[in-house]
Structure 1
Amino acid sequence: MRLYEDKDVIDLLYKLDEKINENLNIYWPNFNKLPIALYNNKKVFLINHKNPPKSFTNENNVFIGPWDSRFTGNTAISLNNYITGILNITIITPLTSFEKIYSLVIHELFHGVQIINKDKRFVQEMIYIQYPILRDNIELRNREREYLLRSVFEKDGQIQKQLIGMFKFCREKRKKYIGEYINYELAVESIEGTATYVEYKAFSDVSCLSDEYILSKFIQKLEVDNTILSNLRISCYSSGAALCILLDDLCPNWKGEYTKSSLYLYDFFINKVRSKEIVVKIDDYSCTKYLIKKDGEYKQKEFEKFNNKDGFKIILKGNMVLEGTDPINIIVSDNMILHKHFIKFITSRHQFILKVPVLSRKGEKIYNITQIEFFVHTEPVQKEDNILVEYLGDVRAKMMRYGENFYIDLEE
């Protein structure tokens, strides 16, 4: 879809609004209409909002204003006390269909519904930083995904029940291997998996493609490939959506009960679909060893690519606290985190957002940061007690230079 001019974005919002007016309850019970914000690096386009920011101007019921740090990522936020779904339209290309954009917007609006419902199952993102890449856990995880995928498309009820029993065995055994870290996956399935399911329903609603083809596209990441470990979070979207599809098949009208429940989606599924565990014997780990090796090589390559970037390296030191990042696009290695899109952090004095690739080094506590590194094209400029740094802005700090590296102490 072409979004080169403001008018293109406004016309898209009108089209989205017209479709949304029809009936969101066909996707999920009590799914009510919410404001939508589409944004790029400069502007925000807002519709259906009762209290838009004062800096926004009204152009035929679409409010347009300057971008600020509230509009980061694709999600739902509280904007002047109204929950609003936001979508970064820089991800949209001329090849992106209206059907795809519509389903993505519905996905983010559903996160708004989850917030309004005070859903307690939202993921603690930083648990991922400590997630254990263990051979037995990964092997069982690969097996469970195979059984879950097969169960979605299985027409024979008895075979489907067996596949669910094998899936359950692998999942329960993994709980014993990694303990509370399984909750990271369970939470992502519960929040993002249900949102992906709603996205699938929305896409099917407006697409002329067959439902089975669309379903296969939405849960294809259940298949194991070279990216399964580096895309751990995204891989939980498809497993969560698959559980929803199975619940539709085996327990119609489950959604209202789930909304009121505090159980993770997997635990809710197991309570509703009672299948005995079927033991899965594992005597070949060659696939998992290969995946762990490939994941290590991928991480090493990405860190090397970052460190070999052109420009001047800025190294921020001090007591910093992570406030936000794009959890889909981070790479973790020991105490280092590569944030490929952006990072929000605070010091004792200021809040910052860097919308460039950033390498952070974490402290003793999970949200603490001891050092941040990124690259700039122009040298920082010292002005008495302040320093002007590309991407970071004007900050009160002390700076020292060693070759092409600039060390900036934010606590000075």
Structure 2
Amino acid sequence: MYVSQLLAFSAKAKRFTNQVWPGMSIGPACIFRQNGPAFLINHPRPPVNATYLGDSIYRLEQADLALAGTAQTDINGYLTAHHHYDQSFFISHNQFYAELFHELHHVYQRNHIKTIQFDNPAILLTYPEDHRNDALKQYENECLLAMVQGPAEQFTTNLNRFFSCRMARKNIIGEKYLNYEKSVESAEGPATYCEYKYMQAFGLSLAEKQYIDKRFFYTLIEPSYGREGLRNKHLLTGMLQCLLLSRTVKNWQSAYYQSGLSLNDYFFTKFIPKQISLPDLATYQARATYFTALVKEKHTQHLAAFHQQDGVKVTLLFKRVPDFRGFDPMHAESMNDSLTLHSTLFKVGKSNNHLTIVDQPVLSLTRDQIWFVKQVTFFVPASAVSFNNNTFTCQTQQVAVSWQYLMHEKTRDGYILMVE
């Protein structure tokens, strides 16, 4: 279903961009199945091993491109949006292609908008888990949604409360982490706005409309605590600020990108807030005190569950820090300042050595920041492990590793390797 709609999506996207984001250009895109085929469209210089299928579509193998997840990757010198269709949760092909349209906006941002602020995922992993911040954030998000969906006569009150919550939270978490939130909104808000507008235009069934309400609006006010769902919430707060701008300010898209401001700072130049006293939030504080403590406890439980997996336990100790090639910040859980559990995507490499783990837990030990990996640990079936000519290899549907090693030791439950 997804492959058959690729050409139609490309045509829709090219027509639709002028309505949703004037000036946005459509770059190359790729859809793929993990360990299966990949289909590339609108690419100026496809890889030489690609098979031309007609209508600017080329076929390759996902493994040849080393694609993983939903993101943007350089393919033969051109940044390319990509999305994998071997997942069961899509409500329709419109949802799948709305998400690809989101990634195409990121390609446009990275190629053409040099002032955009992208978030640093390393900051997310140390974001404070503080019940006072969580309580205020919950109320803040409710005020923002009320600005979009509530009565017009309450707009200014909700605007002032939204702003005042942010100022109060700044005193709790500090400017560094508030700026992190704003950087997520600045890049992801416009991309999520494009995703929403695409889904709104083409997702017309009852199931799709219900999905739109939940995905883009009501997920924002579902209670969450600590770092759980934090980044995704700011995709939505950014999207809603874009939606409010689109209702009021003409040509705001180009004006925002030219301003050099964060999206939130630009938003507050068009909707001027005042700092006010907030209502009593005792109920929010009580819930946050309880649930934020549970979130912290979950980190310990998740780490224990990781070490109780079936299979052999493989730990790679890196002699030199490898090149960090990718991870999914929305599914990376910080256990402490140096230990991170990745559940959907983790990639490192060095010269011809490589490690890619998709949709399987892997634990990374880092120095200073997430980019500087000292060791990784993962579990695989014993039959998947091979040692040959001083090269460790492992191949399953989720794990692909080939790395030269200096020494390896058999342990009670697996292997420890010192690798190049």
Q: TM-score, normalised by structure 1?
A: 0.90
Following the alignment from structure 1 to structure 2, what is the Cα–Cα distance between the partners of residues 287 and 58? 57
Residue of structure 1 equivalent to 2:390: 385
Q: Deviations over 1:222-275 (max 9, x none)?
A: 213246731111111111111111212332331110121221111111111102
Residue of structure 2 equivalent to 1:247: 245
Task: Provide the secondary structure at the position in 2 that maps to 1:278.
Answer: coil
Q: What are the equivalent positions in structure 2 for 1:98-109 lying under 5 Å apart?
A: 98-109=93-104
Q: CA deviation at 1:304?
A: 2.6
Q: Deviations over 1:97-125 (max 9, x none)?
A: 12212311211111111112234311111
Change over 3 Å in CA distance of 1:69–1:47 after alignment to 2 = closer
Following the alignment from structure 1 to structure 2, what is the Cα–Cα distance between the partners of residues 342 and 279? 43
Change over 3 Å in CA distance of 1:46–1:82 after alignment to 2 = same
RMSD value, Cα: 2.4
Change over 3 Å in CA distance of 1:212–1:168 after alignment to 2 = farther
Task: Provide the secondary structure at the position in 2 that maps to 1:148.
Answer: helix
Q: Partner letter of residue 26 of structure 1?
A: Q
Instruction: Give the aligned length.
Output: 402
Q: What are the equivalent positions in structure 2 for 1:326-345 lying under 5 Å apart?
A: 326-334=328-336, 335-345=338-348
Change over 3 Å in CA distance of 1:98–1:383 after alignment to 2 = closer
Residue of structure 2 equivalent to 1:24: 17
Residue of structure 2 equivalent to 1:6: none
Residue of structure 2 aligned with 1:43, choices 37, 43, 52: 37
Asked if residue 81 in structure 1 is aligned to residue 100 in structure 2, the reply is no
Q: What are the equivalent positions in structure 2 for 1:5-404 lying under 5 Å apart?
A: 9=3, 11-41=4-34, 42-61=36-55, 62-67=57-62, 68=64, 70-92=66-88, 96-119=91-114, 120-157=116-153, 159-178=154-173, 179-208=175-204, 214=212, 217-226=215-224, 229-282=227-280, 284=282, 285-318=285-318, 319-321=320-322, 322-334=324-336, 335-347=338-350, 350-355=353-358, 356-378=360-382, 380-390=385-395, 391-397=399-405, 398-404=407-413
Q: CA deviation at 1:18?
A: 3.1
Change over 3 Å in CA distance of 1:51–1:383 after alignment to 2 = closer
Relative contact order, CA 8 A, sep 6+: which one is greater?
A: 2
Q: CA deviation at 1:217?
A: 4.0
Between 292-301 and 181-190, the greater mean CA deviation after superposition: 292-301
| Contact 1:228/1:235, CA 8 A, preserved across alignment | no
Following the alignment from structure 1 to structure 2, what is the Cα–Cα distance between the partners of residues 129 and 167? 25
Task: Provide the secondary structure at the position in 2 that maps to 1:193.
Answer: helix
Following the alignment from structure 1 to structure 2, what is the Cα–Cα distance between the partners of residues 219 and 371? 40
* Structure 1 residue ranges, 4+ long, deviating more than 6 angstroms after superposition: 210-213
Q: Deviations over 1:331-373 (max 9, x none)?
A: 1111221110121123587343233320111213442222210
Q: Partner letter of residue 312 of structure 2?
A: F
Following the alignment from structure 2 to structure 1, what is the Cα–Cα distance between the partners of residues 65 and 342? 16
| Contact 2:95/2:203, CA 8 A, preserved across alignment | no
Task: Provide the secondary structure at the position in 1 that maps to 2:382.
Answer: coil
| Contact 1:151/1:163, CA 8 A, preserved across alignment | yes
Change over 3 Å in CA distance of 1:207–1:342 after alignment to 2 = closer
Following the alignment from structure 1 to structure 2, what is the Cα–Cα distance between the partners of residues 347 and 49? 27
Q: Deviations over 1:312-349 (max 9, x none)?
A: 00011124343310112111111221110121123587
Task: Provide the secondary structure at the position in 2 that maps to 1:388.
Answer: strand
Q: Partner letter of residue 378 of structure 1?
A: A
Q: CA deviation at 1:394?
A: 3.7
Task: Provide the secondary structure at the position in 2 that maps to 1:90.
Answer: coil
Following the alignment from structure 1 to structure 2, what is the Cα–Cα distance between the partners of residues 277 and 83? 42
Change over 3 Å in CA distance of 1:187–1:85 after alignment to 2 = same
| Contact 1:175/1:182, CA 8 A, preserved across alignment | yes
Following the alignment from structure 1 to structure 2, what is the Cα–Cα distance between the partners of residues 140 and 349? 48
| Contact 1:320/1:369, CA 8 A, preserved across alignment | yes
Q: Partner letter of residue 336 of structure 1?
A: L
Following the alignment from structure 2 to structure 1, what is the Cα–Cα distance between the partners of residues 341 and 123? 15
Alignment gaps of 5+ in structure 2: none
Following the alignment from structure 1 to structure 2, what is the Cα–Cα distance between the partners of residues 212 and 90? 23
Percent of aligned pairs with the same amino acid = 26
Q: CA deviation at 1:14?
A: 1.9
| Contact 1:46/1:63, CA 8 A, preserved across alignment | yes
| Contact 1:219/1:239, CA 8 A, preserved across alignment | no
Following the alignment from structure 2 to structure 1, what is the Cα–Cα distance between the partners of residues 86 and 213? 26
Q: CA deviation at 1:283?
A: 5.5
Between 28-37 and 315-324, the greater mean CA deviation after superposition: 315-324
Q: TM-score, normalised by structure 2?
A: 0.88
